[in-house]
Amino acid sequence: MEIPYKIYLSEAEMPRYWYNVRADMQTKPAPLLNPVTGKPMTVEELSGVFCEELVKQELDDDTRFYPIPEDILSFYRMYRPSPLVRAYCLEEKLKTPAKIYYKFEGNNTSGSHKLNSAVAQAYYAKMQGLKGVTTETGAGQWGTALSMACSYFGLDCRVYMVKVSYEQKPFRREVMKVYGASVTPSPSDTTAVGRKILAEHPGTTGSLGCAISEAVETAVSNPGYRYVLGSVLNQVLLHQSVIGVETKIAMDKYGIKPDVIIGCAGGGSNLGGLIAPFMGEKLRGEADYRFVAVEPASCPSLTRGVYAYDFCDTGAVCPLAKMYTLGSDFIPAPNHAGGLRYHGMSPVLSELYHQGMLEAVSVPQTAVFEAAEAFARVEGILPAPESSHAIKAAMDEAIRCRETGEAKTILFGLTGTGYFDLVAYEKFHDRQMDDYVPTDEELARYAAKLPKV
Amino acid sequence: MEIPYKIYLSEAEMPRYWYNVRADMQTKPAPLLNPVTGKPMTVEELSGVFCEELVKQELDDDTRFYPIPEDILSFYRMYRPSPLVRAYCLEEKLKTPAKIYYKFEGNNTSGSHKLNSAVAQAYYAKMQGLKGVTTETGAGQWGTALSMACSYFGLDCRVYMVKVSYEQKPFRREVMKVYGASVTPSPSDTTAVGRKILAEHPGTTGSLGCAISEAVETAVSNPGYRYVLGSVLNQVLLHQSVIGVETKIAMDKYGIKPDVIIGCAGGGSNLGGLIAPFMGEKLRGEADYRFVAVEPASCPSLTRGVYAYDFCDTGAVCPLAKMYTLGSDFIPAPNHAGGLRYHGMSPVLSELYHQGMLEAVSVPQTAVFEAAEAFARVEGILPAPESSHAIKAAMDEAIRCRETGEAKTILFGLTGTGYFDLVAYEKFHDRQMDDYVPTDEELARYAAKLPKV
C-alpha cells in the first residue's frame, strides 16, 4: 500500500475510545493529597471543584478504555482526524536517512491540541446540568479552546486571563469573545482573592497563580459552576490520548513503526496524549520505543526538578500532586513559549520518567526559534513556540542519524500554530530573545521551600 | 456511498490540471490595452513585467486544460486537498432544509487560497531562471502566501507593504520575515516613485496604488526580477481553478449537485477559481447553476460599477483592463475586509457578469461580522472578514429556503481564516464598525474620470 504524504484517517477509522495509560502502569502515579489533612483527596472533596464524571476519570487508575461519547465524536469530526505528515522536505534539508513524521494538531481555530480535552470537559459539565465553567488562561490557548467547546454546548464560559496578557495579547481575548466567553483580566475585583491581591499590590499585572485562584473561587462560590484545567491532570492526559491513538491507527495501517517519539512538555498534556498507546505497548512488554520529553532550558522540571509532592498552583488552593517540580513559586525567566512555563509536570509522566520509561532533554529558546523558522520554510506550517521544542529535538535526532547513517523513524507532536506568537518571532528576528537558564543555587532555593508531606 | 462530514480527496484523486474557463466563453474577456497606444498589450510588452509562461497564460483564451507541473503538485500536497465540509451545525442553527457545503481554503500558514497562485507564479519565475519577484501587499495575505512560495523555491521575495499596515499590522510582516522575504514599508526611498511621493507628501501612510508602483519599478529596474500579482489577472483565476476542480471531483464522487455557488469577490481570484469548472458546464450547456458574487456594500464594483476600460492601479502604471470598476482612484470607506477593497473586478468575471451568467449582491459590514460570529460559534472555524461575505450570502439563501421549504444545495467558498483580523473583530465587539455606503453622486464623480479609450 502506497503511503500518502499526509495520512488522514477516514471517519470510519477514527478512534472511538480514549486510552488510559495508568491501567497499564504497575506502579501508579501517586494520588492527589488534601493539603490540610495530608490524605488522598476523596471523590466528595474533588466534586466541589470538578465535574463528577471528570473526578471519576481523574481517580480511575484501572479502566483501560473509555468510550468517547457520541457528542464528543461529533465535535471531533469538525477538526479531526488531524493529519500525520511525512516531513519529506525537512528530511531533504537535513540530508538525513531518518524518516520524520509529525502529528499536526494545529488545524483548528483554537490553534492547538487543547481543544481535545476542552470539548470533553465542556461536555461532561453540560451532562451534569451545570450552567458554566471557569478557568484561567495565560497566553490564551487553553481559554480559546474552552470557549469554542462551551459555545458548542451552550455553556457559560468565564475565563480569568492574566492581566498583562489581556492587555498585551488582545487577539486571543477577541477570539474568546467571538465564542461568547466572558474574559476578565486577573487580578480583578470580581473575587475576594482578586480584591485582596489588588489591595496589597495595586498596579500588579497578575500571574497564572492568581488567575487560578480567582477561577477556582468563582467556581466554588457560584451554584452550577465548576472549574476546569487544560493540562497536568490525569483526566486531561486521558482525553489527549486521542492524539496517540489516531497516530497509532494510522501508523499501523501503513506498517510504520516509530523508533523514537518526541513531544514538548509543559504540563504534559500533549506528550502524555501522543505517547499513550505506544507507552502502553512498552509497559505491557509488547514493543519498545524511546520517548523523549522536550522542555525549555528556562523551566526544566523533568531534567532539573525534584520528584516530590507540591502545590499545582502558586496560590496553593489546589491539592498537592506528586510530580517533578521546580517549586510552586518558581518563576521562569521571560520565555515566550507560554505553555511550557509550568513549574511542575503531569504526575503520570513524572512517574513514568521516574521509572526510566521516558527520557527528557531541555533546549534553549533561541535554538528553538531557529528550528521553528527552518521548519516553517520547508514544511510550510508556522509552528507555535511550544511545539518548536519538539521540532528542535527531532531535528537534532535526525542530524545524529545523518552522522551515524541510521535510518530511524522519528515521530514528533506538532501541537499547534504560532499565529498568536508573532511578538516572540519578532523578538527572535530582532535578536532580543532571552536564553536565561536558572542556576543550581536558584533551583535549590525553590526546592528547599517544597511543602513537607 | 455514505458521504463523510468532511470530504478530503485522496492524493490519487487530486486534480492534475488547471481549467481555463476562457476556453469555453464564446465572447472572450476584452484584451488588456497599452495605455499609451490604446492597442492590445503584446507578449513583448508584458514580458518586461511578468514571467514568460505567465504572460502566455494571461493571453491564452483557448487552451482548456493546463497540466499542473509536478513541482507545484508536490507543493499543493503540503496543504491540499482542502476539505469540502458539510455545514450540519449551521444548517441546524438556521433550521433550514437546505444542504450547505463549504470549501475551506484556510488550512495553510498563509491562511487563505492565495497560496494556490503564489506557488505557481514563484515556480514559473524559478523555471525562467529569475533571481526573485516583487509584489505589493496591503493587509499581507498575498505577501505571506508569496513569501512561503518563494522560500520553497529559493527565490528572493521583495514585498512592498502599505506603510500603515506595516506599522499597525506587524504580525503578517513577521510571518513574511519567517519565510525570508524582505518587507519594505511603502512609500520608501528604495524607488524613484517612492522618493517622489515622500517628497510631495512627507508623513504619508501609503496606499496600495503606491506600493504597486514601487513593486513594478523594482521589478523592471533590477535584472532577474519580475512583478507578480495575487488577483484580478486571468492567470490567477487559472491557478485558482484548482479550488473548483477539487470541489467538483469531490461532489461528483458523492453525487452532490450544487444549486447555487457563492463566493466573496474583491479582485475575483477566489470566486473565479471556485466556480470555474461549474461555469464551464453552464457555458457548454451541460448543466445549470446559479453563481453569486458577494461584495462589500462599501466597494460595490459589480453591483454599482461601470463596465469599462480602466487602470488596474491607482498609479496608472499598469495596462488598461475592461472590467466592472468604480474608477481607479475610488477609495472605499474604512473597511476591514481588506481583500475586497479593490476598485475593479477580474475581466473574466466582469464579462461573465455582463453576459448574465453570474449574479452579484452587496452586503454591509456589520451584517457580515454577525454572520461570521454565528458561523464561528457553530462550525468552529474563525473566518476571515472577506470569506464572511460569502457566509452572509449563504446564510441568507438558507434562510430563504426555510421560508419556501426548498431543500437546495448551497456551496460557498470559505477562503481563509481571520487570525490576523482580530482588530476588526474587536471593532465589531465594541460596536465601532463602519457601514458607510457610497452615494450615487460619489460613484458618478469617480465614473466620470474613467480613461477615454
* pLDDT tens-digit profile, chain B (453 residues): 788 889 999 989 999 999 999 999 999 999 999 988 999 999 999 999 999 999 999 999 999 999 999 999 999 998 999 999 999 999 999 999 999 999 999 989 999 999 999 999 999 999 999 999 999 988 788 999 999 999 999 999 999 998 888 887 788 899 999 999 999 999 999 999 899 989 988 888 887 778 888 999 999 999 999 999 999 999 999 999 999 999 999 999 999 999 999 999 999 999 999 999 999 999 999 999 999 999 999 999 999 999 999 988 766 778 899 999 999 888 777 656 666 878 899 999 999 999 999 999 999 999 999 999 999 999 999 999 999 999 999 999 999 999 999 999 999 999 999 999 898 899 899 988 888 899 999 999 999 999 988
Q: In chain A, which residues have their Cβ closer than 8 Å to the Cβ of B429?
A: 174, 177
Chain B nearest-CA distance from A337, in A, is: 17
- Residue B384 has a CB neighbour count (10 Å cut-off) of 28
Contact A388, A266 (CB under 8 A): no
Interface with chain B: mutation pick from A104, A174, A378, highest number of B CBs within 10 Å: A174
Q: ipTM score here? A: 0.88
| A contact set with B (CB within 8 A) | 4-6, 8, 10-11, 77-79, 89, 107-109, 111, 148, 151-152, 170-171, 174-175, 177-180, 372-373, 376-382, 417, 419-420, 422, 425-426, 429
Chain A nearest-CA distance from B247, in A, is: 18
From B155, which residue of chain A is nearest by alpha-carbon distance? A377
Residue found under cell 461549474: B278
Q: Using one digit for the tens of pLDDT, what is the confidence trace for A88-121?
A: 999 999 999 999 999 999 989 999 999 999 999 9
Contact at CB, A381 and B177, closer than 8 angstroms: no
- Residue B69 has a CB neighbour count (10 Å cut-off) of 16
Q: What is the pLDDT of residue A335?
A: 59
Residue of B4, B111, B175 lying closest to A11 (CB–CB): B4
Contact at CB, A170 and B373, closer than 8 angstroms: no
Chain A nearest-CA distance from B261, in A, is: 22
Q: What mean pLDDT comes out for the span A188-202?
A: 91
Angle between the B347-354 and B234-253 helix axes, to the nearest 10 degrees? 70
Contact A41, A31 (CB under 8 A): yes
Residue found under cell 462550525: B379
Strands A225-227, A132-137: pairing is parallel
Contact at CB, B422 and A373, closer than 8 angstroms: no
Contact A272, A21 (CB under 8 A): yes
DSSP assignment, residue B11? G
DSSP assignment, residue B88? H
Q: In chain A, which residues have their Cβ closer than 8 Å to the Cβ of B8?
A: 8
Q: What CA–CA distance (Å, rounded) separates B281 from B293?
A: 18
Nearest to residue B368, comparing CAs of B342, B387, B343?
B387
Q: What is the largest CA-CA distance in chain B?
A: 66
Contact at CB, B152 and A376, closer than 8 angstroms: no
Q: Which residues lie below 8 Å from residue B133, measured CB to CB, with a gap of 6+?
A: B121, B122, B125, B146, B150, B155, B156, B157, B158, B219, B225, B226, B227, B228
DSSP assignment, residue B22? G
Q: What mean pLDDT comes out for the span A369-385?
A: 95
Q: In chain A, which residues have their Cβ closer than 8 Å to the Cβ of B417?
A: 109
Chain A nearest-CA distance from B181, in A, is: 11
Contact at CB, A171 and B376, closer than 8 angstroms: no
pTM for this predicted structure = 0.93
Higher pLDDT among residues A338 and B51, named by residue: B51
Q: What is the pLDDT of residue A336?
A: 60
From A370, which residue of chain B is nearest by alpha-carbon distance? B178
Q: What mean pLDDT comes out for the span A184-195?
A: 93
Q: How far is CA B419 from CA B59, B165, B302, in A?
A: 36, 15, 28
Percent of chain A's residues with pLDDT above 70: 98
